Structure 1
Amino acid sequence: MRKGFGIVAGILVLGLLAAGPARAQLPDFTGLVEKNSAAVVNISTTQKMSSAERELPDGMELPDGIPNDELFRHFFGDGGGEPSEVQSLGSGFVISQDGYVITNQHVVKDADEIVVRLSDRRELVAKLIGADKRSDIALLKIDADNLPVVRMGVSESLKVGEWVLAIGSPFGFDHSVTAGIVSAKGRSLPSDNYVPFIQTDVAINPGNSGGPLFGLDGRVVGVNSQIYSRTGGFMGLSFAIPIEVAMKVVDQLKSQGYVSRGWIGVQIQDVTRELAESFGMNRPKGALVSKLLPKSPAQEAGLQIGDIIVEFNGREIATSASLPPLVGMTAVGDTANLKVIRQGETKQLKIKIGMLPDEDHPVVGMHKAPDVVTNALGMAVSDLSAEQRAQLEVEKNGVLVQSVKDGPAYDAGIRKGDVILRIQNDTIRDMKHFNQVLKDLPKKKSIAVLVQRRGGSLFLALKLPD
């Protein structure tokens, strides 16, 4: 009997020991919310919009009961009608007792009036100190004193799987609290190359934009900015701007009213498995330089097309998305150290960081040229006329792709209108040289082809059959 009792008691103890740590891992957010929610604000804007600006795409309707908030207006609009004043909602948080507030740029974009509602229900008209489109950060100022403020944390210390919490105003419901975990760090989104986003599964909905993302220590680690959604609502993919990035932007907006970013003047792309093979690399890594802008810091530093940047100031560049945020956050005028792989050899370069110019993405058209030749790759190419060079911004060298049919070129991603600038290490001078190079290409091996497309350049991996 004693023996049986001892076994049962042992099982109960083991059960309690097993359950204890599991319960301890679940965080209690109540203290964090009580301490920080007063510093989170609701932001509403008023904007005069024409009917054309507010039209939805054909066949799309917003569900009944959804307010005309900043996210839906930002992406869709709210239908037709006469020009009117449109209101939007967002979130923000107070960073100084004298009234500086952080929010998203898209929350206050084109607003005629910005109103900040505090936790004590006061509503104050805010002044826009500055906004930065590339980081989606805006700095506001309200006339108030002794305001509750948040404390700043360090997003770099976050670990994937760590708990985080958001406070904001989804759909206008003030001070709503949602929690989740860090899903990934350093995410790059197509429209935001200079922000290494924190990805979370925290429920973020329209109206949460601009609100704070807290770590378990009650410090702000990010600014909630975007969601990935096919419905307009939360689908488990939320993205926050790291607080270090946001505060660097805020400091510049406060001191000079605009943001200057580091720039080296290259166009880059990822190294695929096929491209890694063509460059003699054991595995894909780094940022492949596909274009150098004239008179840029990169050109002056001696970077070459085809170089693969694998380190920037000692930081490893795993993918091309890793490089722009590091360059952008480097002070203009500083000298940075680059580690590159060039034709299989490792080189060290020094580069003086320039200032990122205004965005300019010209799109050029396709213009027919004579003397078209079809080759074994399944495409027709021609020499470029002087007019075509001017319109396509190709100073010298290269051949123009006139058509592409099923074959190795099409499979590689080459399309009509591309300008083929280089094959492996051979710069293509003209159509005659192009055909000569083709004769010597190896079979069944990945070959790097540099093409220019719509003003940009990229490497494609081409493989010839037997």
Structure 2
Amino acid sequence: MSYGVALLVLLSMLMAATASFAKSTPESFAPLVKRLKPAVVNIQVTQQAGKAGPHEGFEMPQVPEGSPFEEFFKDFFDRRQEQGPNRRPLTSVGSGFVIDKEGLIVTNNHVIDGADEIRVFFHDGESLDAELVGTDPKTDVALLRVQPPEGMSLTVAGWGDSDTAEEGDWVVAIGNPLGLGGTVTAGIVSARGRDIRSGPYDDFIQTDASINKGNSGGPLFDTDGKVIGINTAIFSQTGGSIGIGFAVPANLAKPVVEQLLKFGRTKRGWLGVRIQTVTEELAEGLGMKQPRGALVAGVTDDSPAGAAGIKSGDVIVQFNGQEIDEMRALPRIVAETAVGKTVPVEVWRKGELQTFQVELGELEQAEKQLSMTEPSEPREDTSSTVGSLGLTLSPITEALAQEFGIERETGAVVTEVNPDSSAAEKGLRPGDVIIEVNQEEVTNPKEVAAEVDAAAKNENRSVLLLVQRGEDRLFIAVRLNQS
């Protein structure tokens, strides 16, 4: 009897396991596709011939061979060059999906960028003109609106939770590849959190579901029929799919769409810091047990971070209760936080943790104000050579400021780098401006030399430099040359 009971239990377990496996690997995607396909639309974009668009006169940017956007840029600029005052209108196609029965449609920004006319084609052959509600180039998301006539019922694609998507999960892509119309492909989630250097908030879902030109803006569905991503880019050396596609996660796109609907533009949280990755060497120099967080390389004047007391050299390890395990997570988390909200920010400063209360500003307003700020006039001082660093330094003169595009008054400009020095190994180069040594501000070469001498007398093996390079600020740990 006990043997029979055990056998029944074993059979039940096997049946449960089989049912679970069957759920994750459907025998057919047909029922899912039949339900979802009407929610996916084809988008045709027209730009009038002879119109001087926002890219008129621009040359094609140099991008690495085989990069995700190589083929996109090549196709875009080839078509721009063919355009002339007596030529036919420029036409391109993409995909999108309906998110509201009133006529709201999501697609990619690059699908509709520069459009004079946008027309949406539905699964049943109906087509409608669309208006642009709002767009966000930073996440490559755009929101359109159509006015469905009386009697026309739209099928809606619902948002899913992209954070729950795991590597190996089945996904389905529906779109308009190569202008062929509604096409279905299936695959799996190949990777999460991909950074393809297309924008500041890269967090792409990678999939091997076939994605080609024209799929851009279309949905990536999970097996529950929820949108977990917007198909955006492919990695290809030929322009065709090789099984490496990228989708903007739904959890990143959804709040952007909500802001576009409400304001016609985005309103992102703004902290006002320039940050960099904490390497193992930097972590050691900062007294941290392991690399983590985002190192503050600079604090913008009159920013929320500055007002709260956050300083250059702090390492942000937690923001609003969320751990910052790596630097690139911070901009995304800050951007998704409501403007005007006061949040706790935990930083590592000189060997201890401190918490600051920061009231976030609005990123878009800050960018607008910063773009209107005029550079100040540089001033002169006396030159100096710091042999222990392998650097020749100069004050900021008018000539150097013009040569290297320096837009600050104080600091020490690197004019020469000893090729055998640690500074050369770490990538310091002429035009870099040293503005801190071991987290102490320096305004000229003499002060740099004094701080380095003090470090040498304390038998420090290296110094931590804060370097201004163009618009970026970088912390660089440089080993002292032993005399």
Report if TM-score (shorter chain) is over 0.5.
yes
Partner AA of 2:118 in structure 1: I
Structure 2 residue runs without a partner (length 5+): 1-10, 64-70
Report how far residue 181 of structure 1 moved: 2.2
**d(CA) in 2 for partners of 1:440, 1:369:** 21
1:456 paired to 2:463 = no
Match of 2:394 in 1: 382
Partner AA of 2:36 in structure 1: N
Report how far residue 354 of structure 1 moved: 0.3
For residue 426 of structure 1, the aligned residue among 406, 420, 440 is: 440
**d(CA) in 2 for partners of 1:298, 1:251:** 26
Report how far residue 72 of structure 1 moved: 4.9
Match of 2:223 in 1: 216
Match of 1:344 in 2: 351
Report how far residue 395 of structure 1 moved: 4.1
**d(CA) in 2 for partners of 1:455, 1:382:** 20
Change (3 A) 1:287 1:363: farther
For residue 249 of structure 1, the aligned residue among 247, 250, 256 is: 256
Q: Compute the TM-score of the two structures, normalised by the length of structure 2.
A: 0.82
Q: Compute the TM-score of the two structures, normalised by the length of structure 1.
A: 0.85
Listed as ranges, the matches of 1:364-403 within 5 Å are 371=383, 373=385, 375-385=387-397, 392-396=406-410, 398-403=411-416
Report how far residue 263 of structure 1 moved: 0.5
Report how far residue 130 of structure 1 moved: 1.4
Match of 2:307 in 1: 300
Change (3 A) 1:315 1:237: farther
Report how far residue 58 of structure 1 moved: 11
Report how far residue 229 of structure 1 moved: 3.5
Deviation string 1:123-177 (CA, Å, 9 cap, x unpaired) is: 2111111112122111111121411111221112222332222111111122222
For residue 272 of structure 2, the aligned residue among 265, 274, 281 is: 265
**d(CA) in 2 for partners of 1:363, 1:216:** 53
Match of 2:115 in 1: 111
**3-state SS, counterpart of residue 207 of structure 1:** coil
Match of 1:7 in 2: none
Report how far residue 308 of structure 1 moved: 0.6
Q: Is the CA contact 1:195–1:245 (under 8 Å) kept in the aligned structure 2?
A: no
**d(CA) in 1 for partners of 2:240, 2:477:** 38
Which is worse superposed, 206-215 or 125-134? 125-134
Q: CA RMSD in A?
A: 3.4
**d(CA) in 1 for partners of 2:247, 2:461:** 42
Partner AA of 1:32 in structure 2: L
Q: Is the CA contact 1:166–1:177 (under 8 Å) kept in the aligned structure 2?
A: yes
Deviation string 1:288-320 (CA, Å, 9 cap, x unpaired) is: 100110000010010010111111111111111
**d(CA) in 1 for partners of 2:208, 2:268:** 30
Report how far residue 463 of structure 1 moved: 2.0
Listed as ranges, the matches of 1:73-92 within 5 Å are 73-74=75-76, 77=79, 79-80=81-82, 82-83=84-85, 84=87, 85-92=89-96
Change (3 A) 1:231 1:282: farther
For residue 176 of structure 1, the aligned residue among 177, 180, 183 is: 183
**d(CA) in 2 for partners of 1:328, 1:310:** 17
- Percent of aligned pairs with the same residue? 40
**d(CA) in 1 for partners of 2:461, 2:191:** 35
Match of 1:199 in 2: 206
Change (3 A) 1:23 1:413: same
For residue 452 of structure 2, the aligned residue among 421, 430, 438 is: 438
Match of 2:99 in 1: 95
1:40 paired to 2:40 = yes
Change (3 A) 1:259 1:272: same
Q: How many residues are paired up?
A: 442
**d(CA) in 1 for partners of 2:62, 2:468:** 37
1:331 paired to 2:345 = no
Partner AA of 2:25 in structure 1: L
Report how far residue 344 of structure 1 moved: 1.7
For residue 410 of structure 1, the aligned residue among 420, 424, 436 is: 424
Which is worse superposed, 159-168 or 215-224? 159-168
Q: Is the CA contact 1:209–1:225 (under 8 Å) kept in the aligned structure 2?
A: yes
**3-state SS, counterpart of residue 31 of structure 1:** helix
Q: Is the CA contact 1:270–1:319 (under 8 Å) kept in the aligned structure 2?
A: yes
Which is worse superposed, 250-259 or 192-201? 192-201
**3-state SS, counterpart of residue 328 of structure 2:** helix
Change (3 A) 1:375 1:446: closer
**d(CA) in 1 for partners of 2:74, 2:42:** 17
**d(CA) in 2 for partners of 1:76, 1:405:** 45
For residue 277 of structure 1, the aligned residue among 280, 284, 300 is: 284
**3-state SS, counterpart of residue 151 of structure 1:** coil
Deviation string 1:197-240 (CA, Å, 9 cap, x unpaired) is: 32333322211110001111111111112223344333443222
**d(CA) in 2 for partners of 1:149, 1:415:** 55
Structure 1 residue runs without a partner (length 5+): 1-12, 61-68
**3-state SS, counterpart of residue 193 of structure 1:** coil
**d(CA) in 1 for partners of 2:194, 2:98:** 26
**3-state SS, counterpart of residue 203 of structure 2:** strand
